[in-house]
Amino acid sequence: MPQKVISIRPEFRAAAAKAPRYDGGALSDTRGRSMRDLRISVTDRCNFRCVYCMPREVFDANYKFLPHAAILSFEEIVRLARVFVGLGVKKIRLTGGEPLLRKDLPRLIAMLVPLDVDLTLTTNGSTLVKHARALKDAGLDRLTVSLDSLDEDTFRAMNDADFPVEKVLDGIAAAADAGFAQIKINMVVKRGVNDHQIVDVARHWRDSGHILRFIEYMDVGSTNGWRMDDVIPSAEVLRRIGEAFPLAPAEANYAGEVAERWRYKDGAGEIGVISSVTQAFCRDCNRMRLSTEGSLYTCLFAQQGHDLKALLRGGVDDDAIRDAVAAIWRARDDRYSEIRTAETAKVRKVEMSYIGG
């Protein structure tokens, strides 16, 4: 089933109509959370079919991805991004789908650079050998690469696209050569699938200057058949690694940082754990996601977004968009991970490939 185009939610339309002019003050939601990070999905397409994200049975040859006319143009993305920065956003992550499948992505990056935010991108690394230099030259600050296993069979089974480990490793090396430092390597851990690789992967990235981060397998979307039994809690990841390479906790870089940091006691660098299932961090969540077609989501586990494209293409000015976004943020009360149960996991939610990981 294709994602349906989302109309403006009535309560949002009412809130937007009544939205007070944004007065320039700090923006805070109903739980006192401020707005800091914006993730922008630049495409809903991907060349991988990771079993936990875009299972091939659903995202098959008949799946209808968004048509070109439905997706935000670079100009529209930059216009919205500028509004968000005016409201306090300090960091923008480009994602997807696989963002490097979007044609001419370095041009978008160059267009975002003048906004003076921390500009970063998450990729599966499959085409980094080709693109790393252009991304750096365009002004991208930082890079995150997903790599779930170093074992060939495990990795190919997880990406379900028969994609080899070596090519992603080559991509990471090319990115480092192009000048990206401290690349973050994301590993989603699924019990019985790649958890036997935890210590091997940690060993590989120790002392590399890059930062490995373990992500708890989440119930995003409604196609991955998530079960709590498949989640390896971060505490277990830390225990397994700590037995091989002793670890000590490290300070967060800033309040609301998604990953909890740990450093190797022998000085071989650091790792991070992202525990959205076992240690929900909704309390500090300062993130929003802009979908490929311009809907704004204030929670990764949302069922519906706010259609900003309708405002953009409806001819309103930037001040009106700013007031609408401020009203959405002020009304925000989501905290899905804090109230997750086996039942909520079954509720139909928007897919991560569409909303942006």
Closest to ligand SAM by CB, 224 or 286: 224
Burial of 108 (0-12, 13-18, 19+ CB in 10 A): buried
Closest to ligand SAM by CB, 19 or 66: 66
Least separation in angstroms between CB 11 and ligand SAM: 28
Least separation in angstroms between CB 132 and ligand SAM: 15
Assigned token pair, 261: 């940091």
Closest to ligand SAM by CB, 52 or 262: 52
Number of CB atoms found within 10 A of residue 156's CB: 15
Least separation in angstroms between CB 49 and ligand SAM: 11
Least separation in angstroms between CB 339 and ligand SAM: 18
Least separation in angstroms between CB 156 and ligand SAM: 15
Largest CA distance in the chain: 59
Closest to ligand SAM by CB, 8 or 300: 300
CA angle 59, 120, 236 (to 5 degrees): 70
Least separation in angstroms between CB 145 and ligand SAM: 7
Q: Which residue is nearest to ligand SAM (CB)?
A: 357
Residue partners of 111: CB distance under 8 A and separation at least 6: 74, 75, 78
Closest to ligand SAM by CB, 28 or 278: 278
Closest to ligand SAM by CB, 148 or 270: 148
Least separation in angstroms between CB 200 and ligand SAM: 18
Closest to ligand SAM by CB, 89 or 352: 352
Write out the residues near ligand SAM by the rule CB under 6 A.
46, 52-53, 95-96, 98, 122-124, 146, 186, 188, 215, 217-218, 220, 224, 352-353, 357
